[in-house]
Amino acid sequence: MGIMRIGRAELKVLDLEKSVEYYTNVIGLDEVGRYDGKVYLKAWDEWDHHSLILQEAQSSGLDHFAFKVENAEDLEKLEKKIELFGCTTKRISNGTRLGEGEAIRCELPTGHIVELYHEIEKVGTKVGVVNPHPWPDGLRGIAPHRLDHLALTGDDIETVTRFFTEVMDMFISEKITTIDGEEMVGSFMYARNGKAHDIAFIKGPDKKLHHAAFYVDNWYDVLKAADILTRNDITIDVTPTRHGITRGETTYFFDPSGNRNEAFTSGYITYADFPTITWTEDKIGQGIFYHRRELSESFVKALT
């Protein structure tokens, strides 16, 4: 069955127009449409209609996230597997969202809502597929290539990890355990796409978003992202550094509603036989921030 990648996230924001301004001019996404009071956006290097949806709400955070599957038939097969696992599914009808077909929705053991879909309008990119230039003219802000991954928090890391590995046939690239190895307190999982991770879960309150990450080209672009953030008076949570987990390079910051974003790059390539890397809880500071080797209070407690 074909989970290809994380496809989209819908974020709750406190001020819709202020958030659109931020995500288009600071992050550098393109607005592709508005429907039912929501704004749809995509990164310049994404082919599908959208990867981010913004909705105005009384509180910030994650409304839901979704994975794209390879074939329409995968939806029915995965629906059965989800129900056998013990989660209730709901069909989302064709046309509920702009540019999308039917989807399947369920609630995870951590309380988060996840959807699966296949059909979505392909709008392409400005560079096209014939003799394309490396990037288009007119890029704005950080200008990431794509929505890369989400990190969420929840109480039952073991069960939600089993959901993604047993039901979704995803793989664990890295995990965090207690020192004695008896309990899993974090997991980083990927589909069959070569990425270090599509979704991560860290022990914490249920239903919370830790961050939504956007992929940039290289370390220089992470540094440039931090420059752009400062120039626009955006609150930075973590200045440019390296992860031990995934080996990625990163900077973290907050959107106007307090949702944490990440500009992420590098990391290793995964395969179906990639061995799971284990970090013990006493080394979590080094695992997250390889240079500083300790977590800041804001990085742990600032959740939406």
Q: Would you name the residues annotated as active-site residues?
A: 149, 197, 211, 243, 252, 262
CB atoms within 10 A of CB 85: 15
CA–CA separation, 302 and 304 (whole Å): 7
CA–CA separation, 238 and 227 (whole Å): 13
Which regions of 141-247 does DSSP assign to beta strands (E)? 146-154, 171-177, 184-190, 199-203, 208-215, 236-242
Amino acid at position 45, single letter: D
Helix (H, G, I), strand (E, B), or coil: what is residue 217?
Answer: coil
With tokens 């809502």, the residue in question is: 113
CA–CA separation, 17 and 160 (whole Å): 34
Residues 6+ apart with CB under 8 A from 210: 151, 152, 153, 200, 202, 204, 260, 303
